[in-house]
Structure 1
């Protein structure tokens, strides 16, 4: 039986590829997509999530709009990477039905209605919705099976600040709340996601199905700045959920920089920090093969 999951997301090019893989692989029982502002703002993230479901013929999966703003900060975005539409011009069908509102309440109700530990949360964007869930509904948050989140940088340079990664820099307070909670959390930092890269030859090999063609179009759009390859940040979450043996996981105590400025969201190993499971290495070729298999 496929594992039940909720995908918390801000699509976004690599988010979109991750969601298409989850839809096409037949390996996930997706209960819903909750959206967060993240890469491109909440309205567009929510519309893109609905469009991906419509493309896959999965209008039965609900989209629930979540946080439009970080918990305590002014939003940042990644329009320079993803474009104003989040997809750099790749067209999706219109959503089949309007998105629901109040992702945090929906998450709490869904978790409470299922056996404890039976639903995993796959987080592809800033952790604002999950931080609010922990604050407002701690009993429901405690029912999460696994939380797998793309975010952070350990030994790698950052992509939002000198050592800060975009998702965690977007809402450091939410990240700190998640780390402090007694959840089974695994993070996948830039140290791993930058090792899983798609070049043009790999992208061409995804084509041949509707979802594969769309994933390829998204990744080609991701390369329009002249890059010869691009890191597959968010697909790593789905791959770890399916095949944790492809990743080397280490436990470290981490603190989150909550100051203002370019270091906000930076992770630091400290004895006084919170214990967090971190994916530190990946068997890249096997992971790429698994990803491609979801589009065949």
Structure 2
């Protein structure tokens, strides 16, 4: 049975890698992309989402999301990491299609009412759309099949500050609200993304095996890898956002830990993920009344990369 998914996204190079995986995987049915700011601004994310789907011949909907965080001013987009167009300056032809008439939040509400208990939301950008979703329709927590969030850093340091990962840093209030909700949530933080590096050789092989999907990704990855090399000394790039989808398709690649989660929403540690393992106690009141969620704390890189290449290769065939 296919997993019906909505990807909440700010495309973004690793977002494109995740969308390509969703397009290629026979067990994933891409219902829609909902867009958010982060790597680019929201209107640019919508443009990029439509362009990618058209370029790859996919008819999924694109619904535009929030343009600013829940309370704080918006940070500057991550153009340094993803390029001014979000795709590492690789040009993807603009789409002639229009975004959906509903905004992202109403789209998710309607989709989960049409398919109760069937839709998984893979959130790979700041969580503003999901926080607004909880405000607008609290009952959605019982209609989604699962929510998989790429964000945060539990046992690792952050990637935009020593404490904070980018998606949570871009809207910490939203992240805290989403982690406080009692829905079936799995967190894919930097703990599980950073062990995986797509090397230049891997990306070139991907382009050879699946030119349609792989060539543009390999071209984007050159820009992405330059950032990782210059800032982190890594010989390749990290496909963060793919993890939110791989949880559905190859869960055996990940090691899990269960516990309650919170996010610091102000001060020098803004955006930091706090974690209290299930079965333990502390005097931190921020965990009071919070559900335990599953956290992907490590990854088998070889299994993950073999799965990604296999899925993309089979699609090409």
TM range (shorter): over 0.9
1:62 aligns with: 61
Secondary structure of residue in 2 paired with 1:198: coil
Separation (CA, whole Å) in 2 of partners of 1:155 and 1:38: 23
Q: In the alignment, what sits opposite 1:266?
A: 272
2:246 to 231, 239, 244: 239
Structure 1 residue 135: deviation in Å?
1.0
> 1:102: which partner in 2?
103
Question: Within 5 Å, which residues of 2 pair with 1:168-207?
Answer: 168-207=168-207
Per-residue Cα deviation, 1:161-194 (whole angstroms, up to 9, x for no partner): 2111000111111111111111111111111101
- Partners in 2 of 1:291 and 1:193 — Cα distance? 14
Contact 1:108 1:141 in 2 (8 A): no
Any conservation in 2 of the 1:22–1:294 contact (CA below 8 Å)? no
The aligned counterpart of 1:132 is 132
**Does the residue aligned with 2:182 lie in a helix, a strand or coil?**
coil
Cα distance in structure 1, aligned partners of 2:177 and 2:240: 22
TM-score scaled by structure 2? 0.89
Aligned-CA RMSD value: 1.4
Q: How does 1:66-105 map to 2 (within 5 A)?
A: 66-76=65-75, 77-100=77-100, 101-105=102-106
- Unmatched 5+ stretches in structure 2: 230-234
Q: 1:106 to 1:283 in 2, by over 3 A?
A: same
**Aligned residue number for residue 302 of structure 2:** 285
Closer/same/farther in 2, CA of residues 226 and 12 from structure 1, 3 Å limit: closer
Q: 2:128 aligned with 1:122, yes or no?
A: no
1:47 CA displacement: 0.6
TM-score (norm 1): 0.95
Gaps of 5+ in 1: none
Q: CA deviation at 1:57?
A: 0.4
Mapped partners of 1:136, 1:226: distance in 2: 38
Contact 2:128 2:174 in 1 (8 A): yes
> What is the match of residue 159 of structure 1?
159
Name segments (4+ residues, structure 1) moved above 4 Å.
none
Distance in 2 (CA, whole Å) between partners of 1:120 and 1:140 is 12
Report the alpha carbon displacement of residue 276 of structure 1 after superposing the two structures with TM.
2.3
**Counterpart of 2:154 in 1: which secondary structure?**
coil
Higher helix proportion, which one?
Answer: 2
Give the 3-state SS of the residue equivalent to 1:22 in structure 2: helix
Answer yes or no: is the 8 Å Cα contact 2:180–2:261 preserved in 1: no
Distance 1:73 1:113 in 2: 34
- d(CA) in 1 for partners of 2:25 and 2:110? 27
Structure 1 residue 226 displacement after superposition: 6.9
- Contact residue 50 and residue 63 of structure 1 kept, 8 A: yes
Counterpart CA distance in 2 for 1:31 and 1:7 is 8
Q: Distance in 1 between matches of 2:123 and 2:275?
A: 22
Higher strand proportion: 1
Partner Cα separation in structure 1 for residue 25 and residue 293 of structure 2 = 28
Out of 243, 256, 268, the residue aligned to residue 249 of structure 1 is 256
Equivalence for 1:4: 4
Q: SS of 2:237's equivalent?
A: strand
Tell me how far 1:89 sits from its aligned partner: 1.1
